[in-house]
Amino acid sequence: MSESALSSVISCTTSFEAWDALEKLFSSQSQARTLQLRMQLQTSKKNASSVSEYFVKMKCIADNLSATGNPITEEDLLLYLLAGIGSDYDPVVVNVTARTDNLTLHEVYALLLNHESRMEQLAATTNIDTQTGINVNYAQIGQNQKGPGGRGSGFGVNRGYHRGRGRWRSNTGRNNGKPTCQICNKYGHATSVCCYRFSQEISNKNTNNQT
């Protein structure tokens, strides 16, 4: 005997009083359990669960109610099921509630499964279309960045860069602003520091070029 049952009969002086106390105890526990299960049926929602998971959950609660001696009708279970299925399944709910003939619980379950499968197919198709659109956009961007001859214009002549030996190199000019020597005609140093400034051969050559 449990502690709660023992505490209920410990003050009883006759067996009749003890049995009566136990009956009231278990009756109140059964009533509380029934109310708890009914509340679960009324407040249960499908949310992120699948249709099959939601259906099994609701059916299990209904079976537990039957075990307490307070079964609910299939029609009531169907109403609880549709009430918590969610707005995504409104087409099925409208279809079922608008019918003049009564559908069984398992017939409605089949309709919900079909609708779930249809939504999954549509979602998969939408994802494929979205990915295809992204790929097309990237392809168009790549084509727009190509100039004449198929060369990319993102870093082309207009920006002063070109490819050479696998690296980007600047073609803004070889001397990069350095002076060109008037004696030897080489860039990179001024005339005043040219090593040929006292060379007679270079001087004569420059004179001949000027004439």
Give the pLDDT confidence of 57-74 residue by residue, as tens digits. Answer: 999 999 999 888 889 999
For 9, the domain range is 3-126
Same domain, 119 and 201: no
117 shares its domain with 16: yes
Please, which residues bridge with residue 161 across strands?
170
Domain boundary among 108, 126, 144: 126
Residue 184 forms part of a structural domain: yes
Is residue 200 domain-resident?
yes
Residue 169 CB-density burial (10 A; 0-12 exposed, 13-18 middle, 19+ buried)? exposed
Tokens 């105890």 belong to which residue? 25
Number of domains into which the chain is organized: 2
**Could you tell me if 180 and 77 lie in one domain?**
no
pLDDT > 80? residue 9: no
In the predicted model, what is the mean pLDDT of the chain? 74
CB 199 within 8 A of CB 186: no
CA distance 117 to 123: 10
Q: What number of H helices and E strands is found in the chain?
A: 7, 2
Same domain, residue pair 74 and 14: yes
Let me know: does 112 contact 49? Beta carbons within 8 Å.
no
Q: How confident is the model at residue 148 (pLDDT cuts 50, 70, 90)?
A: low
Same domain (yes/no): 46, 113: yes
**Entry pTM:** 0.51
Q: Do 114 and 197 reside in the same domain of the chain?
A: no
62 touches 72 (CB < 8 A): yes
Domain annotation covers residue 81: yes
